[in-house]
């Protein structure tokens, strides 16, 4: 087992929390993020990941450093298909462009929690029952088959389990209310479509977590 110093784990956690706080504060006002701004922030986050990777190389050595870099590059490449699905979800719910960053931010927050739990449980199960990998692989093959043999119109984010559960828990209005997730109508708390979008993105991200385990 790799002996990772506690201070390095603490540094990793602090880096993630500070990065999320900076991103939230930098985009607290709703606005359309252009190509230049998106490219600049992407450069910041990629650079930060590479700097942390350099720290891993210096502290833990060559093998852990290569493993970190490999895992980062793998997850970075796997995130490309997430972007296409997120774009479809945004188009389906007609999310105004100034509100899309807020949805993605809370989607990332939820993904850190749920994907962390999913991966921890998945890795624990796989380490004891290797045959489970075939189950995960079957899920991926089935998903690929569905994508290749169904028309694009069959994709309906509004019918995802997460969105249906949300609609059962509370009513969801049809109109957006700025960047709010909830509004009060007739004395009752009502969800806005923005919350339904977050639910749909979280559901999609949990499915994507399967390929990370595999």
pLDDT tens across the length of the chain (214 residues): 567 889 998 999 899 889 988 988 888 888 888 889 989 999 999 999 999 999 999 999 999 999 999 989 888 887 777 788 888 888 889 999 898 888 888 877 877 777 777 777 766 776 777 776 677 677 667 766 765 665 545 556 777 778 888 888 889 898 898 888 999 988 889 999 999 998 888 887 777 666 555 5
Q: Judge whether 209 and 119 are in contact, CB under 8 Å.
A: yes
Does the reported pTM lie above 0.85? no
C-beta neighbour count of 146 within 10 angstroms? 11
Give the span between the Cα atoms of 56 and 178, in whole angstroms. 42
pLDDT for 79-98, tens place per residue? Answer: 777 788 888 888 889 999 89
Measured CA to CA, the distance from residue 48 to residue 42 in angstroms comes to 10
As given in the structure block, the two tokens for residue 212 are 């990370």
With both helix axes pointing from N to C terminus, report the angle between 35-60 and 62-93 in degrees, rounded to the nearest 10: 160
Residues 143-165 pLDDT 10s: 667 656 655 455 567 777 788 88
Give the torsion through C-alpha atoms of 87, 90, 95, 97, to 10 deg. -10
């Amino acid at each position: 087992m790799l002996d990772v110093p506690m201070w390095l784990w603490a540094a990793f956690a602090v880096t993630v929390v500070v990065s999320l706080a900076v991103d939230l504060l930098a985009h607290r006002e709703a606005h359309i993020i252009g190509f230049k701004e998106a490219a600049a922030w992407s450069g910041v986050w990629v650079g930060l990941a590479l700097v942390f990777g350099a720290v891993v190389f210096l502290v833990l050595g060559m093998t852990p450093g290569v493993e970190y870099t490999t895992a980062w590059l793998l997850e970075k490449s796997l995130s490309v298909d997430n972007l296409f699905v997120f774009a479809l979800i945004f188009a389906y719910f007609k999310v105004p462009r100034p509100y899309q960053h807020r949805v993605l931010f809370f989607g990332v927050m939820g993904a850190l929690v749920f994907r962390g739990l999913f991966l921890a449980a998945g890795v624990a199960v796989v380490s004891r029952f290797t045959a489970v990998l075939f189950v995960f692989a079957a899920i991926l093959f089935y998903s690929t088959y569905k994508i290749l043999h169904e028309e694009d119109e069959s994709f309906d984010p509004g019918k995802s389990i997460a969105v249906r559960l949300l609609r059962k828990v509370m009513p969801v209005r049809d109109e957006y209310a700025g960047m709010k997730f909830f509004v009060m109508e007739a004395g009752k708390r009502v969800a806005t479509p923005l919350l339904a979008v977050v639910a749909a993105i979280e559901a999609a991200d949990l499915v994507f977590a399967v390929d990370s385990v595999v």
